[in-house]
Structure 1
């Protein structure tokens, strides 16, 4: 078998890994880039979003194919579970979504339960995400990255993702709703933090819209020769090979196989997600004290309401996080036709989703078990996390806020109570490879996402975000990836 080598090896094919590839190509045109993905290609359009598949049977088959270690049919919600959800209680179907796994042995009703994610396919979460791309608030930004640099990076991320700031600009129903919400929340807010359309990485079409995947980020790179850019599907990374603070390559294998091979690399970027990137670092003997610590996830409060309107809304609205207000709220239309069991609606069904910031606690952490390996041959993951008193207080405040919004816009849908989703359900966990200003044992990487103590090893994804956030983090983590990518191109083109 021919030996592989590349100037840059990227482990993971999701939005941040793809952003690294695209910006390195822009700034270092001659770079040879190899991307590794543990899962398969699921579409002829490489890395395209699965929700754009019109045929529902074909979409379901693709979603099953993306489940990584457990490629089996999703067991749908039962009527009993649906009634539990309507009553605001635990609903077991939420833990059967494609790719989810329980990351500890807690009882499903225990507050320490954490749901992780292990799906794998070319495009990563870029094939499955909801495409929300709001900008972080001032307090969510990283204090040691200059505001001008961060603004530039966020703008570049919006260009890469092709973010649409207002998907349905002529939506009178949504305009009316935003006026109502604005009267409640806009006072004292800067213009960019007032109630507004949710920015989405989508393209409108005559019949709706298309969600953007990594095919949009990579663009013409997908047409390149394998000599310059190649994605290796069904290829797990077993470890990063390194010596004296320098990554020299990676060891790869087909999932389920013990036949490994080496890939020589000039630079390695680990972009396998917030759980599996720390797992790979640990398996490679790269174990800074902060690795896997301070795992942090938004808590989610959801509510289904009815809105009486003669102008049904089409688009999503957003109440942004501001510094003294630890919430980010999305409000948008839903359809009774998508509900698993009939429900009697007298108005338009509208969904409220509130993300609630949670405390950064070093005791909330990942643990790795080298005596057991997972489907990729890596140490198994478990997660220990508890809500702090501050978290519980904010959750109660968040539930009260959802009730206020409900009363202002309409009424609670009959039989539908407010629901707090299991921790981890947002799939937005952060902090596991946190970024730091200095190598003081409290972080894993520097402001350019380079792992402390290494010349040429970088990490990417939501896991590097060190701040307390409530805002959807994808745009933020893609922006940070562009900073790291430009650093790599600057250094490597000079050698």
Structure 2
């Protein structure tokens, strides 16, 4: 059993929760920190990345465990359940081997939300793409000074271990970047030209080693339990609070029913954009904006055919700008399980055009206290629909995809340009968004402290208040550094 009290408890062990722990340790060396994770530790490396497991059969087994353990409610979704969800139903668990699917009130063919949620030590840090592109000026928080935000981005890059060109020397990728630059670089600032996709990865003789939260936590994992401890397979049922002050959390071991209380001087809720508002709701912390403004970007998927020798290995990136709202990733792929047409003889190249969607108050997460999920918390459903502007933007993104495919070589024969359901990017955000003032439109302040509380913080993509197209992990990690530094500064001098 853990100590009955700690200085800081962090609910969730993903990249932003781990960033809080690492930054608090940097600025408050004597702090006692406890991290709570609902799922199991699945790798010997605490929070290691699953893509480093080269045995694909073993990796598939671990991916099931990454969803909260090998429990039958989280096996692959069945055809019957899929049809039930399309008809508007949902059950108590979203953690599915093939993803999260929740039908909306209206036409599910248009508004189906599809996504995934992790529950294991490292959270989505065990499965993320490791892309760490920087957000454009238009995507950044307007009420955080530019120099402060830029400094936080630099800290976040260090925490995640960003490599700006992880496959340097890929001549085919460099040649493609030059061709793409001729088409897209005009009028861009030097930092937003076509470039290699920055990745949280380290090159090695056998390829890239992808960074999970093992890299973010660093030496913390070797500390004694008295100063840093991860409670795996432990569920937080409630943040206990009195008069705007969090006093601790109620916890329960997975598979058990008896809860225990952990007293804490500061509480950080760092689950994800769906489960962070869920825990606040279950704790009776229900500001008007909680779960509202659910936002994500569409992904327009395009397959292209490239004729090149040697084949491309690196990932290229066309950044979003104020004038170009799309973030385009271009990467080598394989079609081993997909039948190709006879005239498809070149290298298959995958593409994702990340397309922003409008922020809408009515797009939201809804909680049902009558239907507990596997954690014993109010179950979740999604209400979401696109705006007319979203639909027009999608058509523009499709045209961009075709244009890029023709620069690569040609659109791959036999493959259509498709729009994936919203949520497919796994980048949903906005549900605990930060705001400049406490006016009912946000959940937390610019340092991610929940309005009306002196020691309760939220973390993750859910705090991002802006429209984005860029992979948000670096962004949300940067925002986490503000809250962590505020906690350390306040508590060290208290």
Question: With structure 2 as the length reference, what TM-score do the two structures score?
Answer: 0.93
The aligned residue for residue 39 of structure 1 is: 39
- Counterparts of 2:253 and 2:210 in 1: how far apart (Å)? 30
The aligned residue for residue 12 of structure 2 is: 12
Deviation at 1:429, TM superposition (A): 0.5
Cα RMSD (Å): 1.9
- Counterparts of 1:206 and 1:99 in 2: how far apart (Å)? 32
- Counterparts of 2:95 and 2:24 in 1: how far apart (Å)? 38
Deviation at 1:346, TM superposition (A): 1.0
Is the CA contact (8 Å cut-off) linking 1:99 and 1:119 kept in structure 2?
no
The aligned residue for residue 90 of structure 1 is: none
In structure 2, do the counterparts of structure 1 residues 185 and 51 end up closer, same or farther at CA, with 3 Å as the change threshold? same
- Counterparts of 2:147 and 2:19 in 1: how far apart (Å)? 20
Deviation at 1:106, TM superposition (A): 6.1
- Counterparts of 2:71 and 2:190 in 1: how far apart (Å)? 46
For structure 1, list consecutive stretches of 5 or more residues without a partner in the other structure: 79-94
Deviation at 1:341, TM superposition (A): 4.6
- Secondary structure of 2:487's aligned partner: helix
Is the CA contact (8 Å cut-off) linking 1:70 and 1:99 kept in structure 2?
no
In structure 2, do the counterparts of structure 1 residues 330 and 439 end up closer, same or farther at CA, with 3 Å as the change threshold? same
- Counterparts of 1:367 and 1:97 in 2: how far apart (Å)? 19
In structure 2, do the counterparts of structure 1 residues 40 and 431 end up closer, same or farther at CA, with 3 Å as the change threshold? same
In structure 2, do the counterparts of structure 1 residues 50 and 381 end up closer, same or farther at CA, with 3 Å as the change threshold? same
In structure 2, do the counterparts of structure 1 residues 106 and 211 end up closer, same or farther at CA, with 3 Å as the change threshold? farther
Deviation at 1:107, TM superposition (A): 8.6
The aligned residue for residue 328 of structure 2 is: 329
Is the CA contact (8 Å cut-off) linking 1:68 and 1:118 kept in structure 2?
no
The aligned residue for residue 419 of structure 1 is: 418
- Counterparts of 1:409 and 1:77 in 2: how far apart (Å)? 38
Deviation at 1:414, TM superposition (A): 1.9
Report how many aligned residue pairs link the two structures.
Answer: 478
The aligned residue for residue 451 of structure 2 is: 452
The aligned residue for residue 470 of structure 1 is: 469
For structure 2, list consecutive stretches of 5 or more residues without a partner in the other structure: 80-93
The answer to which of 327-336 and 126-135 deviates more is 327-336
Deviation at 1:257, TM superposition (A): 2.9
Deviation at 1:68, TM superposition (A): 2.2
Deviation at 1:55, TM superposition (A): 1.6
Given the alignment of the two structures, is residue 492 of structure 1 paired with residue 487 of structure 2, yes or no? no
In structure 2, do the counterparts of structure 1 residues 103 and 76 end up closer, same or farther at CA, with 3 Å as the change threshold? closer
In structure 2, do the counterparts of structure 1 residues 263 and 343 end up closer, same or farther at CA, with 3 Å as the change threshold? farther
Deviation at 1:465, TM superposition (A): 0.3
The aligned residue for residue 360 of structure 2 is: 361
Is the CA contact (8 Å cut-off) linking 2:358 and 2:389 kept in structure 1?
yes
Given the alignment of the two structures, is residue 234 of structure 1 paired with residue 254 of structure 2, yes or no? no
Is the CA contact (8 Å cut-off) linking 2:12 and 2:123 kept in structure 1?
yes
Is the CA contact (8 Å cut-off) linking 1:103 and 1:381 kept in structure 2?
no
Deviation at 1:340, TM superposition (A): 4.7
The answer to which of 142-151 and 2-11 deviates more is 2-11
Question: With structure 1 as the length reference, what TM-score do the two structures score?
Answer: 0.93
Is the CA contact (8 Å cut-off) linking 1:318 and 1:331 kept in structure 2?
yes
- Secondary structure of 2:365's aligned partner: strand
Deviation at 1:335, TM superposition (A): 2.0
- Secondary structure of 1:477's aligned partner: helix
